[in-house]
Amino acid sequence: MGTTRETEIMSQAHSNSARRTAFTLVELLVVIAIIGVLVALLLPAVQAAREAGRRASCVNNLHNLAVALHNYHDAQEVMPKGSQRRGEGGPPPWYLTNQASWIARILPYLEQQPLYDLIDFELEPGNEGVNIEVMGTDLAIVRCASDTAESPKPEYAPTNYVACSGDEDDVYLYNGVFGMNSTTTMGQITDGTSQTMMISECKVAAPFNKYYGNGLYFRCLAGTAKPIFDHQGEPRGFSWFYAQVTQAWNYNTLLTPNNSLASNHECQYWSDRSAFAARSHHPGGVNVAFADGSVRFVADEIDYDAWQFLGRMQDGEVVGEY
């Protein structure tokens, strides 16, 4: 009898212990809810950390490009042309001449001598023949990790880095470091190298831009042109190599960084006049490489006058905090 009673007591204790160690449905749901809240709290931090890493990589790219520009200047005693176009007259049309970009010209200083050696800088148009292989070559150093877009023109490898021509919409009348057929020397940057922008960012194919005649071009600049769809426009940053059109290689300071007025599309008057903003996928602003080789983050809310001062190289203005 005693043994049977002891067995029943032990069995009941085991049963109670089993019930105590199991989760009820309510407890399980509470645990899942807590885990969900923790994940929701941690996810933005993880995303922010990843973006910080991508932004740091972008800064490094810009710094290396700036150093390459300095090395080019040391060797050639002049900065590379933003793009090159011969004068009108004689086939092929002047707007289809060689026009290899400023990036193409500094390849030897980016440890890309073999790729540089493939380029025929005399070939017209510049995006044909032996240059086809070059212009289709992806270069990690000209891509920001925060922008994974591909060029809508599959024969070209895109870029996120564009050169500053100042606050003129005509790249022949550049007052920044780079322009069409530009021949800028360090000695001409009289505002000081730490006060003068050289390179910033653009988003690949965002926004698209559209060619306008004279009247509609100024309507576009005013932000009153009709919205366009991707297939109606031309993509920004579509090629690091071929700089026939300014959306591939240039930005100016007519628009502040990530300007919202032109968020649907930006404006171009044929292939030499344009209003292209510096743009990036980094929250709140863009990275900028200055003529002294430094790279700084410039906020979208920068004062418009200060932004224009930083784009010009000989205006005599000194910009403080921005």
Mean pLDDT along residues 154-178 = 97
Residue 9 is predicted with a pLDDT of 47
Banded pLDDT at 118 (limits 50, 70, 90): very high
Run of H or E including 198: strand 197-201
Residue 12 is predicted with a pLDDT of 55
Mean pLDDT along residues 297-305 = 98
Mean pLDDT along residues 116-136 = 97
Is it the case that residue 7 has pLDDT exceeding 60? Answer: no
Residue 266 is predicted with a pLDDT of 93
* pLDDT cut 70: percent of the chain above it: 92
pTM of the prediction? 0.86
How much is the mean pLDDT over the chain?
90
Domain limits of the chain?
A: 45-311
Residue 21, class by beta-carbon neighbours within 10 Å (0-12 exposed, 13-18 middle, 19+ buried)? exposed
Is it the case that residue 300 has pLDDT exceeding 60? Answer: yes
Residue 64 is predicted with a pLDDT of 98
Please report which residue ranges of the chain form alpha helices under DSSP H.
Answer: 2-21, 25-76, 102-105, 113-118, 131-135, 214-221, 304-311
What DSSP state is assigned to residue 34?
H
Bridge partners, residue 295, by sequence: 289
Mean pLDDT along residues 143-170 = 96
Quickly list DSSP for 61-122.
HHHHHHHHHHHHHHHHSSPPPSB--PPS-SSSPGGGS--B-HHHHTGGGGT-HHHHHH--TT
For residues 248 and 239, the answer to whether their CB atoms sit within 8 Å is yes
Residue 92 is predicted with a pLDDT of 85
Q: Residue 72 contacts by C-beta under 8 Å, 6 or more apart in sequence?
A: 79, 80, 105, 106, 109
Mean pLDDT along residues 274-278 = 95
Q: Read off the pLDDT of residues 10-69 as tens digits, 9 standing for 90 and up.
A: 555 455 554 555 668 887 888 888 888 887 777 776 677 888 899 999 999 999 999 999
Q: Read off the pLDDT of residues 184-217 as tens digits, 9 standing for 90 and up.
A: 999 999 999 999 999 999 999 999 999 998 888 9
Of the given ranges (14-18, 145-149, 233-237, 305-309), which has the lowest mean pLDDT? 14-18
